[in-house]
Amino acid sequence: MNSAVEQDERKLPDPAGRPFLAAGFFLVLLTVVLIATNVWLAWRSYDAAWSQATTTSRNLGHSVANQLDSVFSEVDRLLNTLSYTLERNEMTPAALESLQPIMVTQISQAEYLHGLFVYGADGRWLVHTQPTQARQANNSDREYFIRHRESRSTRVLISKPVQSRSTGDWIIPVSKRIDDAEGRFAGVLLATVRVDHILQLLNRFDIGEGGAISLGLADGTNVLRRPYAVEDLGRLIPDNPLMQAVNSARAGIARLTSPIDGVKRLVVFEHLPNNPLFVTIALSEKEILSQWRSAAQVQLACVLLVVLVIGFSGRYIIKSLRLRRASDRALRAAHEQIVQKNAQLAELAERDGLTGMLNRRAFDQRFEDILLLGRRHGRPVAVLLFDVDHFKAYNDRYGHPAGDECLRRVAAALSQAIRRPGDVLARYGGEEFIAVLPDTDADGALAVGNAAREEVERLKLPHGASVQGIVTVSCGVASAFRGLLDPTTGALIEQADKALYRAKDQGRNRVVVAGG
């Protein structure tokens, strides 16, 4: 009977083994979660890399399109002006002779222009800006000349690049048909744009070693491409996979393998606003993902190492379950303390130790963000630069401890006047304070500056070296608004600084607006 009881007891589960089973299950679950979390993080960083590249490409494409559109729009206006002059005077010899110095002047003022030409109905050179003219010069065989002769359209035509017969330079022809008084074809007016100038413009943009920028005609003909190759000028790529998207939208994005060099790229295209051209910005997928791949490889190696450690240490971890739990609690507490300390250090790194305000480094970063947002939405941004009047004399008379207390109280007074949620106030250095006010024009900034100045006056801090007998501040104001062309933080601060010096020259304890 005892033997039977022993057999029944052996069939019952051992309660002591349950923690080991639970620990084993926990280790397996931990490994799965670790791998899943790192896969998710890798995917998120992959997505972030593409998102950043997309944003960069769109911004580059918009900038390139606008700059090139400005060049060709200027040429368009010049041709229309010269065409009006010719057609009004019916292309008489006198009119042609008087037009030549005007054309030369235009060439001297526009570095992107290679030359200006007027051709007769037979293609002969009637007037031009070249130093010399080849014998029997005739351009009736040029593609643009033939198109104008066969089409009654008087719109400006941009053609694929050709090599100049007079200088040998590569040029982009921009031409317009000239009609006589009866509406018959009378010739062609031509402006040639330097390919090397457009290339220099494109070279200013950073697209990486494997990137490409191209300018194309509406039919897909390549006008110019960077990296530059002569054989790419005027090249038409058959069955270009990008053209379907280009012909169906003003702007877009795609991931394609280049039919020119076989490189996989993220391609952003955008049509020029006022000309029948489009630009493409193509960033190499390999370069876009290079940092992500490096990080992912390190992350994968770390995950594999951790998994191996978990596997080899499983037996030990199970035996030391209670100790491990205690250690985990201690580690979590230490981690929270480190996080709190890091947060405190981050806060201290942005604050001025004397006044508790933002320091200059933190202000510069926030100023850049506010100005960028104001540019994007066309809203004004104002900068106020304050200086404590005669502060050196104050220090000399009352001592540096009193000077420090003075700065703290002035900072508190300025904070009372500049306290909207979006306003930023900082100590700029020494006795200078600076504020940036989003959505505020010059008049609004003037009012805020005067309010801040009055707050400092209300402190009534004695200052024997000041004319007023109390501590005062002077303020310079500068404002960026929609009409100002791409202001920078440095330019605005410089304007505010000049206005501050004007305030000092006018007697101090006042607010002066730049340009006012």
The first and second tokens of residue 52, run together, are: 């950043």
pLDDT higher than 60, residue 2: no
> If DSSP codes are grouped into helix, strand and coil, which group holds residue 496?
helix
**Per-state percent for the chain, helix, strand, coil, to nearest 5:** 50, 20, 25
Residue pointed to by tokens 């290079």: 290
Name the residue type at position 144.
Answer: Y
Q: What is the mean pLDDT of the chain?
A: 85
What pLDDT does residue 485 have?
44
Distance CA 4, CA 1 (A): 5
**What stretch(es) of the chain map to CATH 3.30.450.20?**
16-319
Give tens-digit pLDDT for 122-136: 989 888 888 776 667
pLDDT at 9 over 70: no
Q: Is the peptide bond before 93 cis (omega within 30 degrees of 0)?
A: no
Reply yes or no on whether the pLDDT at 455 is more than 50.
yes
Q: Which of 234, 138, 150 is nearest to 190 (CA)?
A: 138
Contact between 256 and 265 (Cβ < 8 Å)? yes
Strands (E), 195-332: 212-217, 221-226, 235-236, 251-257, 264-271, 277-284
* DSSP structural state of residue 411: H
Q: Would you tell me how many other CB atoms lie within 10 Å of the CB of residue 488?
A: 11
Number of residues written out for the chain = 516
CATH for 360-513? 3.30.70.270
Q: How far apart are CA 509 and CA 61, in angstroms?
A: 48
Find the mean pLDDT for residues 24-40: 80
Closest by CA position to 474, among listed 436, 444, 501, 437:
501
Answer yes or no: are the C-beta atoms of 432 and 385 closer than 8 Å. Answer: yes
390: left (phi over 0), alpha (psi -120 to 50) or beta: left
Q: What is the pLDDT of residues 380-407, one digit of tens each?
A: 999 999 999 999 999 999 999 999 999 9
Specify the pLDDT at position 300.
Answer: 84
Angle at 111 between CA 210 and CA 278, to 5 degrees: 45
Q: Catalytic residue positions?
A: 431
Instruction: Answer whether residue 121 shows pLDDT above 70.
Output: yes
| Residue ranges of the chain that CATH labels 3.30.70.270 | 360-513
Q: In the structure, what pLDDT confidence band is assigned to residue 118 with cuts at 50, 70 and 90?
A: very high
User: Is there a contact between 189 and 126 (Cβ–Cβ < 8 Å)?
Assistant: no
Residue 400: half-sphere exposure toward Cβ, Cα within 13 Å: 2
- The candidate with the shortest Cα–Cα distance to 424, out of 453, 488, 381, is 381
Q: What is the pLDDT of residue 15?
A: 52
| Amino acid code (one letter) for 411 | A
Whether residue 425 contacts residue 415, with contact meaning beta carbons closer than 8 Å, is answered with yes
Beta-carbon contacts of residue 516 (< 8 Å; ≥ 6 apart): 442, 499
> How far apart (Å, rounded) are the C-alpha atoms in residues 442 and 477?
7
Q: What gap in Å lies between CA 424 and CA 382, rounded to an integer? A: 11
Query: Which is higher by pLDDT, 54 or 339?
Result: 54
Most confident of 151-155, 243-247, 326-330, 508-512: 508-512
Alpha-carbon gap, residue 189 to 350, rounded angstroms: 62
pTM value > 0.95 = no
Could you give the percent of the chain with pLDDT greater than 70? 89
The vertex-223 CA angle with 171 and 67, nearest 5°, equals: 85
Q: CA 243, CA 237: separation in Å to the nearest integer? A: 10
For the record, the structure tokens of 246 come out as 């280009």
DSSP codes, 124-177: BEEEE--SS--TT-B-TTSHHHHHHHH----S-EE---EE-TTT--EEEEEEEE
Report how far Cα 388 is from the mean position of its chain's Cα atoms. Answer: 36
Q: Which helix (H) or strand (E) holds 435?
A: strand 432-438
User: What is the model's pLDDT at position 12?
Assistant: 46
272-309 CB burial, b ≥16 within 10 A, e <16 = beebebbbbbbbbbebbbeebeeebeebeeebeeeeee
> Residue 398 CB: number of other CB atoms within 10 A?
17
Q: Which two tokens stand for residue 298?
A: 């390190």
CA distance 248 to 239: 16
pLDDT of residue 350: 79
Domain with residues 16-319, CATH architecture: 2-Layer Sandwich (3.30)
296-310 tens-digit pLDDT:
888 888 888 888 887
Query: Sorting pLDDT into bands at 50, 70 and 90, what band is 220?
Result: confident
